[in-house]
Amino acid sequence: NATARLTAGGSEGTVAGILYKWTNYGKGWRSRWFLLRNGMLSYSKVRRPEALNLISPTDDVRLIGDVSSNRLSRMDSCSGRRKHQKTVGIVHLKQISSFRESKSDDRRFYIFTATKTLHLRTDSKKDRVAWMQALVSTRSLFPLRPLNDNLSLVPRDLSISTDRLKKRLLEEGISDNLVKDCEQIMLSEFSEIQGQLKVLCEERSILLDTLRQL
């Protein structure tokens, strides 16, 4: 069989399993196939065991949870009918700010990023521990980029030219005073937008710094 090497204690770098992801109050918890590999956590909808074709034949994957093992053993028997399962979500470990276990439920944990929070649940406390260890171990290999690196979160000052606008207005016979008024209005609007952009970038920088300290 040309399937991936699926073991209970395989590669520390590639981890896979089925987790339950909170969607909304209407749909509640939904099972998703999660794959942690190369610094990325991806997940897709679970419809049929034979549809979980997300692992290449050369991978050495460590499975977490009995449900995953059972589904994948059935998947092997249906290998001839497998279809590619579309990935519905990807989280880069470089973007993850923190992980946290639930205090009220020993099967739940959370992944916080700068833009969203994933609410996840395992089948057992043991599985949650395994996933948390895998996430922490993988993130240590793909550390967060420091805020003071070469790629600044706050854009540099931008410039704008009104030469083409002034030339076009003058060609239409618009008076110099009116042309200057139009130029000032345009520069004023641009300056306001640039200021708003800087504020948003600074707020994002503060948010990232705060989340990393959690």
147 part of a folded domain? no
65 part of a folded domain? yes
pLDDT of residue 82: 45
pLDDT-wise least confident of 106-120, 122-136, 141-155: 141-155
Is pTM beyond 0.75? Reply is no
Distance CA 14, CA 32 (A): 17
User: Could you tell me where the beta strands, DSSP code E, fall in 27-146?
Assistant: 28-37, 40-45, 60-64, 87-92, 96-101, 108-113, 117-121
Please count the structural domains in the chain. 2
153 part of a folded domain? no
pLDDT digits (tens, 9 = 90+) for 21-54: 988 888 889 988 888 887 788 888 765 444 344 4
149 part of a folded domain? no
Distance CA 49, CA 83 (A): 10
Percentage of the chain beyond pLDDT 70 is 59
pLDDT of residue 85: 52
pLDDT digits (tens, 9 = 90+) for 192-210: 677 667 767 766 776 776 6
pLDDT of residue 203: 66
Q: What is the dihedral of CA 127, 130, 134, 137, to 10 degrees?
A: 160
Q: Distance between alpha carbon 35 and the CA centroid of its chain, in Å?
A: 13
Q: Write out the residue range of the structural domain in which residue 119 sits.
A: 5-141
